[in-house]
Amino acid sequence: MAVSSPVPSVQHLTVDEESAGQRLDNFLMRMLKGVPKTHIYRIIRSGEVRRNKGRVNADDRVQPGDVLRIPPIRLSERAEQKAAAPAPAREFPVVFEDEFFLAIDKPAGVAVHGGSGVSFGVIEQLRRARPEARLLELVHRLDRETSGLLLVAKKRSALKALQDQFRERETGKTYLALVKGRWPDKLKVLDQPLHKFLLPDGERRVRVTTRDDPDGQKAISLVKVARHLPPDHALGQEMSLLEVTIKTGRTHQIRVHLASAGHPIVGDDKYGDFDLNRELARQGLKRMFLHAWRLRLQHPASAQTMELMAELPPELKKWVE
């Protein structure tokens, strides 16, 4: 592939107060727009990136006043075109916002960030819509097809405080999911390890595994039946609306736990009942019925307990009314 001319000179970046404590790789990804992650890691490993004239590792934390030397960077034509055509600016429905963070109601079908074949996501669009913001960083993730509450930090201190809460399982994250069949009222705890693997085409998947699997990750989901929908609700198929609170945040956790229990989420194109999904699509359900509904947390500055809620979007609400 043809390559453009290199940047004419070495760059020197000075770390600001808001970036204190951020990993070097994440700091560079934010500052070097359009540069592929693989290239950023390559120049760090080679020693071409210097901090205060010394070598530095990708997981080292930067501090205010640090001066980073960035070598001339060559971009492929494709990467240059991507950098020249940034994400379109877009605001999303705001559930809560103050000077520390905002909570938005993410629509289904929108990735939270660019990568893996997606040019841009929520965070890139928000940054374009708010050029005056000194910092906007994702606190956590949601699957592309999942709608609902998503937190974005506006200060480095808020990012760390909120991520610490998620890591220490101090938040209460509850989702609404519509599943196939009648969920047993007595089945309230799903405590099965999960194992991530890749399909031959490179696509990521997750399955329930045994407790002695060295690659298994502990995963706990608490299930409460919100209501049972009668068989005549759609296609003669009984369905159940569930409130699922996750105590761990594993990849595809809710989807895999519910499917492994014999009650897949309707509309799930990875772990669902594909015949049922096709019939529901004909009836108008064009997406997976999984919504990040409620989030309990402590405010990152005041430590006040908060409860945020994002109601079901119209395209889901009509299926359970």
Nearest CA-CA partner of 222 in 299, 277, 169, 297: 169
Look at residues 233, 256, 254, 252 and name the one whose alpha carbon lies nearest to residue 242.
254
Q: Please tell me which residue in 105, 143, 268, 273 is annotated as part of the active site.
A: 143
Single-letter residue type at 52: N
Per-residue exposure over 49-66, b if at least 16 CB sit within 10 Å of its own CB, e if not: bbbeeeebeeeebbeeeb
Number of alpha carbons in the 13 Å side-chain half-sphere of residue 130: 15
Name the residue type at position 310: A
Residue recorded with tokens 């409620």: 294
100, 158 contact by CB (below 8 A): yes
Q: What is the dihedral of CA 229, 313, 99, 162, to 10 degrees?
A: 40
- For this structure, is 143 an active site residue? yes
Distance CA 320, CA 299 (A): 32
Query: In DSSP terms, which residues pair with 297 in a beta bridge?
Result: 306
How many residues comprise the chain?
Answer: 321
**What is the C-alpha separation between 207 and 205, in angstroms, rounded?**
7
Residue 316 corresponds to which tokens in the numbers above?
């889901």
Token pair for 260 = 């492994």
Question: Which of the residues are catalytic?
Answer: 143
